Structure 1
Amino acid sequence: MQLSNSEEQLMEHLWKLEKAFMKDLLESFPEPKPATTTVATLLKRMIDKNFVAYNEFGNSREYYPLVKKEDYFSKHVNGLIKNFFNDSASQFASFFTTSTNLSQKELEELKKIIDVELQKKKK
């Protein structure tokens, strides 16, 4: 299941805060801040999708994420590779490195990351 753009934005704030009451979430948004009702609607949808849960303290709810940021985005990247690059990580890497205008330094850093992963796989 996927989040809409506005849900994803709200989730970003929740990941950063780890646990938050409505007022904390509203404060984390830049101006112009969304309406409380908008955030409440998004939270309800995200609870229904099992991305968010809450603890109740009297009349207040403290919300927290049920999904880790890394898990959410790795699922997305894997879906992207599967759907747009014929399930080929090398096609994705080729597209990523040629279409994103990476500098030589950035490409060298990517190469280092790949070399480290290759070393781990050899063990």
Structure 2
Amino acid sequence: MSLSNAEEQLMQILWKQEKAFMKDLIEAYPEPRPATTTIATLLKRMQDKNFVNYVQYGRSREYFPLVRKKDYFSKQVNGMIKNFFNDSAAQFASFFTKETDLSQKELEDLKKLIDERLKSKK
């Protein structure tokens, strides 16, 4: 299951803060900040999707992520490769390196990462 753009934006704030009360989450947004009801609705949907949970302190709830950022984005990238690049990492890499206008240094850094990964697989 994935997040909407608005949910993902809120999740990014929560991953950064690790745990937060509603007011902390709202304050992390740029102006104009969303309404409390909007954030409450997003949090409820994210809770239903098992992305967040909370601890109740009196009338306040402290929210925390149930999914790690790395795990979420790994799943998103793998899904994108499957859906848009015929499950071919090579097609994805070809598209990525051609369409993102990477510099010579960025391409060399990518090559170094791949070479290191190849070494660790042996």
TM-score range, shorter chain: over 0.9
Secondary structure at the counterpart of residue 31 of structure 1:
coil
2:3 alignment counterpart: 3
1:88-103 matches, cutoff 5 A: 88-103=88-103
RMSD value over aligned CA atoms? 0.5
1:50-65 matches, cutoff 5 A: 50-65=50-65
Using structure 2 for the length normalisation, give the TM-score.
Answer: 0.98
1:86 alignment counterpart: 86
Deviation for aligned residue 1:33: 0.6
Cα distance between partner residues in 2 of 1:95 and 1:17: 34
Query: What amino acid maps onto 2:58 in structure 1?
Result: G
Secondary structure at the counterpart of residue 72 of structure 2:
helix
Structure 2 residues without counterparts, runs of 5 or longer: none
Secondary structure at the counterpart of residue 118 of structure 2:
helix
1:74-114 CA-to-partner distances (Å, cap 9, x unmatched) read 00100011111111100100000011111101000101111
Secondary structure at the counterpart of residue 62 of structure 2:
strand
Secondary structure at the counterpart of residue 55 of structure 1:
strand
Cα distance between partner residues in 2 of 1:112 and 1:61: 45
Q: Matched residue pairs, number?
A: 122
Deviation for aligned residue 1:56: 0.4
Secondary structure at the counterpart of residue 63 of structure 1:
strand
Structure 1 residues without counterparts, runs of 5 or longer: none
Q: Which runs of 4+ in 1 moved over 3 A?
A: none
Cα distance between partner residues in 2 of 1:33 and 1:84: 34
Task: Establish whether residue 30 from structure 1 lines up as the match of residue 17 from structure 2.
Answer: no
Deviation for aligned residue 1:30: 0.8
